Amino acid sequence: MKLDVVLGLQWGDEGKGKIVDVLAGRYPVVARFQGGPNAGHSLHFEGKSFVLRSIPSGIFRKDSMNIIGNGVVLDPITFKGECENIESKTGTPVKERIVIAKKASLILPTHRLLDAANEAAMGKGKIGSTLKGIGPTYTDKVGRVGLRVGEILAPDFAERYKKLKDRHIRQLSQMGFECDPDAEEAAFMEAVEYIRGFKLVDCEYFVNNELKTKSILAEGAQGSMLDIDYGSYPFVTSSSTACAGACIGLGVAPHQIGHVYGIFKAYCTRVGSGPFPTELFDETGEKLRKIGNEFGAVTGRPRRCGWLDLVALKYAVMISGVTDLIMMKSDCLDTFETIKVCTSYKVDGQQTSQVPADTFAEIEPVYTDMKGWNTDLTGFRSEDELPQEFKDYIKFMEDYLEVPIKIISLGPDREATIIR
């Protein structure tokens, strides 16, 4: 069997949670392979809404197994709260449906303090971190000093925890950052005890054994343009958000990858700092933000909004070898007379269809104008019902990207979806 992958192709917030929830019915296993509680995958069904931060989006499917993989950084406090919220509101038996990789990294309370200290020290050059401790946890992982989930089973875990906490306290002191490093320690230890009640697995063996008889859906977090290697560095996340990250984060070989589903919005958004060539600073951008309810599911921060950037999108499609495209929030463009699409850049006066390596390059977007459809799409459930102008919009993108758009989302609910 194959490991299919779902990725965001922009700067995150593309709507991955809904699509994984829709696709999860086809897969007995759903796995997260990178990122942490900086994710905010929103799910809406049966009149209920949930924002999943660490838990895979297959959790609400009755027969689905959900894996938190090796490449994930897990905050025990956030995870415990998330699980308890789901159990109290839906009765979902989370301990029966979730397994956690022993090699996933632990986020300590002091990691979040370091995150805040680092961001404060950067001043105007700040990255726009969610302050969830993600970056410092990955830093400790690469520096070979971090703690992993499996270590909570060790008899000397408290000593290991103290050693890393003391290291963080020294770093915070050197930075002159005033804080209380003990404030959340009791809650952290209580959450660690809670996690001990879950099935902790050797993820690479578990996943490969499951693949012998079952298809698995790997769920990415953040977006391709935030990839640590191929995103708009340094305004990126701290993990590999491209398809290759699924191999590393779950312990599977590249030949095991099947379909690569790439999700994008019909326009662009970004949270935090960094380049955004098609960003709109006028009433059109504000209109997109209002119609699309573009505020962070985790942070509540207003998202920066702009027209669709096909140059960046094609770049992300190339990096991950996307086989199937999924377009979200098409309905948010229902009332626009003209819809602009960026089809090339001008960089230093030269026109190009490539994303420049220099993150700080001055980029002028070159637009193609498309006629709007001026039709409420939210009630449509078949492709035949769609207006011709919208079909033209889809064909234009497919021709440019050279990949078919297989799923079109016309609203937040599961049912508001056309599968082609």
Q: Which residues are part of the catalytic machinery?
A: 13, 41
CB 216 within 8 A of CB 207: yes
For residue 279, the 8-state DSSP code is B
The SS3 of residue 408 is strand
What is the DSSP code string of 71-87? TBEE-HHHHHHHHHHHH
- Selection from 304, 316, 264, 359 nearest residue 128 by Cα: 304
Burial class (CB in 10 A: 0-12, 13-18, 19+), 373: buried
Is the Cα torsion angle 397, 399, 401, 406 positive or negative in sign? positive
Question: Alpha-carbon distance 108 to 128, whole Å?
Answer: 20
Residue with tokens 């390596």: 357
- Selection from 39, 38, 37, 45 nearest residue 18 by Cα: 45
Tokens linked to 257: 């990858």
Those residues with Cβ within 8 angstroms of residue 218's Cβ, 6 or more apart along the chain or in another chain: 3, 4, 5, 6, 30, 31, 32, 33, 246, 249, 250
**Residue 234 preceded by cis peptide, ω within 30:** yes
Tokens linked to 307: 């027209």
